[in-house]
Structure 1
Amino acid sequence: MCPYSFAQPRRKDSLSAWRSKEKIIADNTPLRAAGSVPGTLMHEIAHLVTKHVVIDAALASGATAYYPTNAAKLALESKAKAVKNADTYAWLATSMYLDQCDWS
């Protein structure tokens, strides 16, 4: 596991308060605010279960496609790279878990 995930100042060990709507992600707040240790675990599991076929892919700019914004940019640049990017799966799982994300 990435040690940084345990050192983040606003680390979330669970998103259950957001799922239950006890807490909400305010309008115009980026999905990145829902970053969590479970999301990091999902990212790392994506590497593990695919025997590192799923990687930390890079954008054309060279930046790693971490976080939802870069994962979305990667999908626009290359769908083939996006399906092999660990953060794509982590953020998809996070957004599917949160009822506040509108998939219509």
Structure 2
Amino acid sequence: MYLLSYIRGDFVYCPVLLVLFSCRTGFYFLLRDNVSRLDALHLVQESFAFIRDFEGEIPGSRREECGNYKEHDLKGAKETAVDMLEVLKDWTPEKMEYEV
């Protein structure tokens, strides 16, 4: 939900669909074709930076909000965000091209 909250607050011009399957299976991040690959890449990088820098209570981490509330791990999320920022630091839109 960090990513969804971040997107809603910062990229209101950009139609975004973030489909969460569950906290254990991941999500799809879909954008309309009017969003450039560079903008999409920046959005993902900025979202991981937001997670890396986040302080406070994890949204949805209370018993009444999540069946797996005891398994929320801000420290682990921050470590993953740092790892992903390293992976994405030299990415370009050209690296997002796949052969058909």
TM-score (norm 2): 0.30
- Specify the structure having the higher radius of gyration (Cα): 2
- Whichever structure has more strand as a proportion of its residues is 2
